[in-house]
Structure 1
Amino acid sequence: MQNETRIAVVGFGLIGKRHAEVLRRSPGLALAAVVDPDAESRAAAVAMGYAAFESLEQMFEQAPPDGVVLATPTPMHLEQGLCCIANNCPVLIEKPIAVTAAEAEQLTVAAEQANVALLVGHHRRHNGMVRAAKAAIDNGSIGSIRAVQATCWFYKPDYYFDAAPWRKHKGAGPISVNLVHDVDLLRHFCGEVRSVQAIAVPSARGFENEDLATAILTFEQGCVATISVSDSIVAPWSWELTSCENPAYPATNESCYLIGGSEGGLSLPDLRVWRHEETQDWWTPIGSQTLLRSFEDPLATQMHHFAQVIQGKCQPLVSGVEGMRSLEVVEAIAISAATGDAVSIQKSDAQSREPAQKPAA
Structure 2
Amino acid sequence: MVLKIALIGAGLIGREHAKLISSNPRVQLEAVADISEAGKVLADEYGTRYFFDVREMLDATKPDGVIIALPNAFHAEAAMACIERGIPSLVEKPVADTLEAAMQLTEAVERKGVPVLVGHQRRHSPDIAKARQLMNEGALGRLVAVNAMWLTDKPTNYFDAAWRRQPGGGPLLINLIHDIDCLRFICGEIESVMAFSSNEVRSFEVEDTASISVKFTNGALGTLLMSDTAVSPYNWDTAAGQALYFPHQPENTYVFAGTKASLALPLMDFWRHENENSHWQHPLLRQHITLDGSRAYENQLHHFLDVIEGKAEPIVSVRDGMLTLATILAITKAGKEGRIINVADMLG
TM range (shorter): over 0.9
Matches within 5 A, 1:137-152: 137-152=135-150
2:232 pairs with one of 231, 235, 238: 235
Quick one: structure 1 residues 125 and 59, their matched pair in 2 at CA, closer, same or farther if it must change by over 3 Å?
A: same
Q: Specify the alignment match of 2:152 in structure 1.
A: 154
Q: Which amino acid aligns with 2:339?
A: D
Residues 248-275 of structure 1, C-alpha deviation per residue, up to 9 Å, x if partnerless? 3232221110110110000000011100
2:199 pairs with one of 184, 191, 202: 202
Matches within 5 A, 1:116-127: 116-127=114-125
Mapped partners of 1:246, 1:15: distance in 2: 11
Quick one: structure 1 residues 168 and 47, their matched pair in 2 at CA, closer, same or farther if it must change by over 3 Å?
A: closer
Q: Which runs of 5+ in 1 are unaligned?
A: 351-361
Mapped partners of 2:163, 2:91: distance in 1: 22
Q: Which 4+ runs in 1 deviate beyond 6 A?
A: 347-350
Matched, 1:182 2:179: yes
Quick one: structure 1 residues 153 and 44, their matched pair in 2 at CA, closer, same or farther if it must change by over 3 Å?
A: closer
- Matched residue SS, 2:208: strand
Matched, 1:254 2:251: yes
Contact 2:326–2:347 (8 Å) recurs in 1? no
Quick one: structure 1 residues 164 and 134, their matched pair in 2 at CA, closer, same or farther if it must change by over 3 Å?
A: same
Contact 1:142–1:273 (8 Å) recurs in 2? no
Residues 321-351 of structure 1, C-alpha deviation per residue, up to 9 Å, x if partnerless? 111000000000000100011001117889x
Mapped partners of 1:95, 1:164: distance in 2: 18
Q: Shift in Å at residue 82 of structure 1?
A: 0.9
Report the TM-score, using the length of structure 1 for normalisation: 0.91
Q: Which runs of 5+ in 2 are unaligned?
A: none
Matched, 1:307 2:309: no
Mapped partners of 1:348, 1:169: distance in 2: 21
Quick one: structure 1 residues 199 and 139, their matched pair in 2 at CA, closer, same or farther if it must change by over 3 Å?
A: same
2:322 pairs with one of 306, 321, 324: 324
Q: Shift in Å at residue 48 of structure 1?
A: 2.2
Quick one: structure 1 residues 207 and 39, their matched pair in 2 at CA, closer, same or farther if it must change by over 3 Å?
A: closer
Mapped partners of 1:130, 1:156: distance in 2: 25
Worse overlay, 205-214 or 335-344: 205-214
Quick one: structure 1 residues 178 and 270, their matched pair in 2 at CA, closer, same or farther if it must change by over 3 Å?
A: same
Mapped partners of 1:61, 1:261: distance in 2: 52
Residues 126-157 of structure 1, C-alpha deviation per residue, up to 9 Å, x if partnerless? 01111122212222221121110001111123
Q: Shift in Å at residue 166 of structure 1?
A: 4.2
Q: Specify the alignment match of 2:190 in structure 1.
A: 193
Residues 21-80 of structure 1, C-alpha deviation per residue, up to 9 Å, x if partnerless? 211111222222211222442243134211222222212222101111101111111211
Quick one: structure 1 residues 347 and 301, their matched pair in 2 at CA, closer, same or farther if it must change by over 3 Å?
A: farther
Matched, 1:82 2:92: no
Q: Which amino acid aligns with 2:148?
A: A
Report the TM-score, using the length of structure 2 for normalisation: 0.95
Q: Which amino acid aligns with 1:178?
A: N
Q: Shift in Å at residue 116 of structure 1?
A: 0.4
Contact 1:108–1:118 (8 Å) recurs in 2? no
Identity in percent: 35
- Matched residue SS, 2:210: strand
2:63 pairs with one of 52, 65, 82: 65
Q: Which amino acid aligns with 1:258?
A: V
Q: Shift in Å at residue 201 of structure 1?
A: 2.2
Quick one: structure 1 residues 211 and 347, their matched pair in 2 at CA, closer, same or farther if it must change by over 3 Å?
A: closer
Q: Shift in Å at residue 216 of structure 1?
A: 0.9
- Matched residue SS, 2:30: strand
- Matched residue SS, 1:42: helix
Quick one: structure 1 residues 232 and 308, their matched pair in 2 at CA, closer, same or farther if it must change by over 3 Å?
A: same
Mapped partners of 1:89, 1:244: distance in 2: 32
Q: Specify the alignment match of 2:27 in structure 1.
A: 29
Mapped partners of 1:95, 1:37: distance in 2: 20
Mapped partners of 1:166, 1:42: distance in 2: 22
Worse overlay, 229-238 or 36-45: 36-45
Cα RMSD between the aligned structures? 1.8
Q: Specify the alignment match of 1:358 in structure 2.
A: none
Matches within 5 A, 1:261-340: 261-279=258-276, 280-340=278-338
Q: Specify the alignment match of 1:357 in structure 2.
A: none
Q: Specify the alignment match of 1:355 in structure 2.
A: none
- Matched residue SS, 1:284: coil
